[in-house]
Chain A
Amino acid sequence: MIARRLVPSDLSSYALTKELAREQCWRMIEGLKWRCWEGDYVVFNPLSGHTHFLDIVAGQILTLLMAGSCTASVLRSSLSRFLEVPDDDKLAATADDILMRLEAAGLVERLD
């Protein structure tokens, strides 16, 4: 939530935003039902009644959160090892984007 409130008006606050986003803790919504087939995931959210189709990367993030809540940086490192790609800004942007989408779908939430 803090990351959303900060406006990157200068370089120092932008760096702070990135840092806070990196340390943002995430968790999976309770009660989700899911199946994984050939790398694709289908997930049922009992709170919304919606069923979501996730690709392997989004599904991997959800799988990591199934084990327990963790920070965005830990998620990113795990994702880096899973995808065998460098843990760089590009991967960070991808992970952030996926987390936002999962949050919008009501599948994950931030821990304050």
Chain B
Amino acid sequence: MFASLDPNTFLHGACVRRAAVGIGGFSIAISLEIARPDLEQQIEHLYGVYPRHDPDALPDVTISLRPQNRTPMLFRPAIRVFANDEAPYQAVPERWALPVLEATINWFVWSYVARVLLLHAAVVELDGRAVILSGPTGAGKSTLCAALIARRFRFLTDEIALVTLNDGHLQPHPRPISLKNDAIDIVAKMLPDAHLSDRFSNAAKGTVAFMRPPRQSIEAAGEPARPALVIFPTYEPKAGFELKPIERSQAFMRLIESSANYLTLLATGFETLANLVEACDHYSLHYGSLDDAVGAIESLARVSRGIPKVA
């Protein structure tokens, strides 16, 4: 996946290694300006199956991983991740490069993508109908996504839903799925063939690991999906199960809150979101059991908008 640039191109004392992949309408170049074969391997593990982007064409963004001088706060070798020469996060120890790489790609999409309405949501699809899982961090979106993948849903995104402005369809953005704490083992058990990254432990965030999306989802990244169902999940350990329909106006206002660029899109944002809301059924889901939640979503996905249940 990675290739060296011109053998004479050395930055920071290391030969620059570079890879470019296409991810659902975006081209992302990853430039390693640090000699860390293990890191290269980690990235390749997650992104190796993505379609390669023409290395000579200009990518939408170049993500560069550069060494940083040691600071009093970071006694070990540090790294900083840049998106087109802007670094949204502080330098971190080298072993944290992968999570910060993922966070930086997310930051780029949130900050610079203007041709779509951006919602903080996960999206999966079944039989041509997209299910949007909208909720704050910790609501269980990624775990639900992984569990729905195990039920043969197609994965579109676990973090950033991209709604195209002209037709309101959901554009896939199948990046590695971010799993935290107990969810890592739950998913590893549920999907024994899943490609999981190393685990990254941090006192503030707990343990994080990334799951490579299924190959079929990556290959279908050019195929948008039609929105059909919006679920607002809330996970609470040992909680019961409650599924309630919610009115479209309420769903609309909640989705505005989850959007990164609704305000900047003005009337186009209003029309795009209103059309999406009108096309969908909306539910709030409070759950403590993953099986209950997945079963409910699967049933709703099959019957939403009166489409007959598929045997």
Binding site for B on A (CB under 8 A): 33, 35, 37-38, 40-42, 44, 46, 49, 51, 53
A44 to B249, CA, bound (A): 13
Q: DSSP class of A's interface residues: helix, strand, loop or mixed?
A: strand
Contact B266 A37 (CB under 8 A): no
Tell me the count of chain B residues lying within 8 A, CB to CB, of chain A.
16
Total residue contacts A-B, CB cutoff 8 A: 40
Which residue from chain B places its CB closest to the CB of A55 in the assembled complex? B249
Residue of A nearest to B247 (CB): A38
| Cβ B270 vs Cβ A33 within 8 A | yes
Bound Cα distance from A53 to B249, whole angstroms: 8
Choose from B249, B253, B267, B270 the contact partner of A38 (Cβ within 8 Å): B249
Apart from A38-B249, A44-B266: 16 A-B pairs, beta carbons within 8 A: A33-B274, A37-B247, A37-B248, A37-B249, A37-B277, A37-B278, A40-B247, A40-B249, A40-B250, A42-B249, A42-B270, A42-B274, A46-B267, A49-B263, A51-B262, A51-B270
B residues near A, CB below 8 A?
A: 247-250, 252-253, 256, 262-263, 266-267, 270-271, 274, 277-278
Closest to B271 in A: A33
Output the least CB separation between B280 and chain A (Å). Answer: 12
> What residues of chain A lie closer than 8 Å to B267, measured between beta carbons?
33, 44, 46
A51 vs B250: C-alpha distance when bound (angstroms): 13
Residues of A within 8 A of B278 (CB): 35, 37
With a cutoff of 8 Å between Cβ atoms, the chain B residues found around residue A42 in the complex are 249, 252-253, 270, 274
Q: In the complex the two chains form, is A51's CB within 8 Å of B256's CB? A: yes
User: Contact: A44 with B247, CB < 8 Å?
Assistant: no
Chain A: which residue is nearest B248 at the CB level?
A37
| Distance, CA A49 to CA B266, complexed state (A) | 6
A33 to B271, CA, bound (A): 8
Residues in A with CB closer than 8 Å to B248 are 37-38, 40
Task: State in angstroms the CA–CA spacing of A40 and B274 once bound together.
Answer: 13
Q: Which residue of B lies closest to A43 (CB)?
A: B270
Residues of B within 8 A of A41 (CB): 249
- Across the interface, name the chain B residue whose C-beta is closest to A40: B249
Q: How far is the CB of B274 from chain A (nearest CB, A)?
A: 5
List residues of chain B with CB within 8 A of the CB of A37: 247-249, 252, 277-278
Residues on A with beta carbons closer than 8 Å to the beta carbon of B256: 51
By a CB distance below 8 angstroms, the chain A residues around B253 are: 42, 51, 53
A49 — which chain B residues lie within 8 A by C-beta? 263, 266
Please measure, in the bound complex, the distance between the C-alpha atom of A33 and the C-alpha atom of B256, giving whole angstroms.
15
On whether A46 and B249 interact (CB within 8 A), knowing A33-B271, A35-B278, the answer reads: no
The 14 listed contacts between A and B (C-beta, < 8 Å) are: A33-B270, A33-B271, A33-B274, A38-B249, A40-B248, A41-B249, A42-B249, A42-B270, A42-B274, A44-B270, A46-B267, A49-B263, A49-B266, A51-B253
B277 partner residues in chain A, CB cutoff 8 A: 35, 37
Distance in angstroms from B281 CB to nearest chain A CB is: 12
Complex Cα distance A42/B253, Å?
A: 8
Give Cα A16 to B274, complex, Å: 44
Alpha-carbon distance between A16 and B67 when the two chains are bound, in angstroms:
77
Which B residue sits closest to A35, measured CB to CB?
B274
Report the nearest B residue to A44, measured CB to CB. B270
Residue of chain A at shortest CB distance from B266: A49
Residues of B within 8 A of A35 (CB): 252, 274, 277-278
